[in-house]
Structure 1
Amino acid sequence: MVDLVDTFESLGFKNVITYLQSGNVSFESDSTDAAKIAKCIERKIKQTFSFSVKVIIRSEHELENVIKSNPFVRYSDVELDKLHVIFFSDVPELKSTLNLDMDKVENEKFEIRGGEVYLYCPNGYARTKLKNDLFEKKLNTAATTRNWKTTNKLLELSKQ
């Protein structure tokens, strides 16, 4: 993770913090153009580490909204350690999300709100078919999944 911090700092980002060995990075930038920042990071990672990765960026404000907007946290029977958020690189078209045919177990729940999917997997994420690769395929966008604890931790890191 030290190499990843160095890579971000070489791009001029400030207050670079990584979370565990997850590839999650919190940083400050003078630019507010998330798409431009993501492309810049993707190029630098390819140049430095010789592999390609899709970078998905959320600002502190966006992470706050993601956490506030989770429709499942208000239910007392929901186990927080079974909650996940799938972050999309692009907001899918509304019409493509309305008729989404997904093969899921009866007690699993998901809701798409903007550029995220809120996912409740009471049998565990390892057992669900509702993984980010399925959403990527059905909605034609890149995605990455974080559990609820990590999502909250990323917001905490962004406030440091």
Structure 2
Amino acid sequence: MKRYIVILRGVNVSGKNKLSMAELRDVLNKLGFQNVQTYIQSGNIILDSKETKEVVCQKIKEAIAYKFGHEIAVLARTPQEWQKTLENYPFSQENEKIVAFVFLDKITKETVIEVKGVKEDKYKIVDDVVYLYCPSSFANTKLTNNTIEKKLNVIATTRNLKTTKKLLELACLNLSKER
């Protein structure tokens, strides 16, 4: 069995793509995933599977479309990949309210994107993650998920530092209990 942190794009945002996490857990359990756990209402899942990340994502995407009628992008990482993402954050993490991670569906060769009006906000693109540091606040930044998707031609979903850390903690906590 492999442990995965699975993140969904655009779930329960501004009343769109509503998904009950309890119903989603039921669907995932029926698909044969084990130790299914969700965190908050924005599409964060921890689960175990014998399948590859790609198969896990495809099964979840198809199940959500069938059960809930939503076309949702699904991305997955192992706890080790998640940990590496956190460790590689290149900016200060002192103020967690301005730190975020944009997870991409594929590795990009781009390292620079043209975005006007960024001000003091910073980003760094590394493989399949865009690291964000937004002192202007996420409400005001020009480095939005949609902008990053368009500029890099990827599917992306963003998580703040608090959520990113909590998902790793939950994934590793469950792993240590099983050993």
Same fold (TM over 0.5): yes
2:94 aligned with 1:81? no
- List 4+ stretches of structure 1 deviating above 4 A: none
**Structure 1: 5+ residue stretches without partners:** none
| Equivalences for residues 56-135 of structure 1 within 5 A | 56-73=75-92, 78-92=94-108, 94=109, 97-135=110-148
| Contact preservation (8 Å) 1:104, 1:130 | no
**Structure 2: 5+ residue stretches without partners:** 1-20, 175-179
RMSD of aligned residue pairs (Cα, Å): 1.3
> Residue 56 of structure 1: SS of its match in structure 2?
strand
Partner residue, 2:41: 21
1:8-54 CA distance string (max 9 Å, x none): 111111111100111111111112x2112111110011011111100
Partner residue, 1:4: 24
Task: Go from structure 1 to structure 2 and tell me whether the alpha carbon gap of 1:148 and 1:99 turns closer, same or farther (over 3 Å shift).
Answer: closer
Identical aligned pairs, as a percentage? 37
More helix by percentage: 1
2:51 aligned with 1:38? no
Q: CA separation in 2, counterparts of 1:126 and 1:26?
A: 28
Partner residue, 1:142: 155
More strand by percentage: 2
1:30-81 CA distance string (max 9 Å, x none): 12x211211111001101111110001111111000111101136xxx5222
Number of equivalent positions: 153
Q: CA separation in 1, counterparts of 2:125 and 2:117?
A: 15
- TM-score, structure 1 normalization: 0.91
Question: Following TM superposition, by how much is the alpha carbon of 1:99 offset from its aligned partner in structure 2, in angstroms?
Answer: 4.4
Partner residue, 2:165: 152
